[in-house]
Amino acid sequence: MLWRALSISVMIIILICFVLSAMSHVQPIHQPNAAPNMSPAVHARITKLLAENAVVLFMKGGKDQPRCGFSAKVTDVLNELAPNFVGIDVLLDEEIRQGIKLYSEWPTIPQLFIKGELVGGSDIITQLFNTGELHGLLGAPAPDRSAPQITISEDAASAIRAGIADEPGVVLHLRIDRRWQAHFQLAPAEGHEIKAHAAGIDILMDVATAQAARGMHVDWVESLQGAGLSIKLPRAPKAVQSLTVAELAPALRAGSMLIDVRPAHDRLRAPMPLAHRVMDNTTLSSLEALDKSTPMVFLCHFGNSSRQAADHFRGLGFTELFNLEGGIDAYAREIDTGVVRY
């Protein structure tokens, strides 16, 4: 079946759902006025945020780790067009979470403001991005809307056609996220998408996906684990590589940068004795500004959070990324028993 997935080079998620647009006309929303029911202090905080920052997204989660799908979609768009945008995590501040809804007279999160003006939420931002209007609002060059060349093997095409036949009235949509994971979805066409055609199948996608999908090849594979689609994306950055603790010191001598992503209390409990940098809210932007060819090794407790951090940098286009497998725990067991295990 189309929704049975097998991760070969990229995990494909097949979701069957209908996507209905909440807005029939896409345009920036009016400048908000002071809401009569909100605290003057909260109003002043929001006004100050908007006055000091040209592009502000009120969202669930942070820029590096959105905590809802709608916030993640807008974050992907802004990372493409305005990577220095300010993200405000409303989950950390209940006054702002409720206050911004009163301030803007808009009931949902996320909310994007450009130069103090509310532009809209996830659906509106997605549509503005795909039409190119958001590029104009942010002073970015007009997008390339040419269709990418995609190839689909006959076996894969047969499986896709079978899935589409089960859902009349919908078409195949493709989205490639910032981590270069491809997602297929069956949904009605909205009218603003870019259309590619391969093996007799129409594939609709947004502007960013069209760029990432150039040269994409879709195949069907079967193994002991099951059967599913295999995707190859020639434009994808090199995948995060694994590094053992025995390989760490030689990698650092060769010029790799070690980055500890653990929270401050864990770093104090078990300090990493080798030279390293810390990744937290105060250092993230400086790390993201490094040359994309900088070799980076990411470290955490057991090697899980560090891989997520490395994947974040892969999404930004970094090409030499390594995850320290086993984390500081493996380093303490195998290399330096003086490091505290916890």
Give domain limits for the chain. Answer: 40-115, 149-232, 241-334
Q: Is the pLDDT of residue 28 over 70?
A: no
Confidence of residue 128 (pLDDT cuts 50, 70, 90): very high
Arithmetic mean of pLDDT, 297-303: 98
Number of H helices, E strands in the chain: 12, 19
Q: Which CATH superfamily is domain 241-334 in?
A: Rhodanese-like domain (3.40.250.10)
Q: 40-115: which CATH architecture?
A: 3-Layer(aba) Sandwich (3.40)
Distance between CA atoms of 342 and 329, rounded to whole angstroms?
8
The amino acid at residue 251 is: A
Q: Is 20 helix (H, G, I), strand (E, B) or coil?
A: coil
What is the structure's pLDDT at 33? 53
Q: Which CATH number is associated with domain 149-232?
A: 2.60.300.12
Q: Which of 103-112, 146-155, 172-181, 276-285 bottoms out in mean pLDDT, i.e. has the lowest?
A: 172-181
Q: Is the pLDDT of residue 20 over 90?
A: no
What is the structure's pLDDT at 26? 43
The amino acid at residue 172 is: L
Count of beta carbons in the 10 Å neighbourhood of residue 12: 22
What would the pLDDT profile of 195-251 be if each residue is shown by its tens digit? 999 999 999 999 989 999 999 999 999 988 888 999 999 999 888 999 999 999 999
Q: What element of type H or E holds 132? A: none
Q: Is the pLDDT of residue 7 over 60?
A: no
Q: Is the pLDDT of residue 154 over 50?
A: yes
Please tell me whether the peptide bond between 110 and the residue prior to it is cis, using omega within 30 degrees of 0.
yes
| CA 184 to mean position of chain CA atoms | 16
Distance between CA atoms of 322 and 334, rounded to whole angstroms?
19
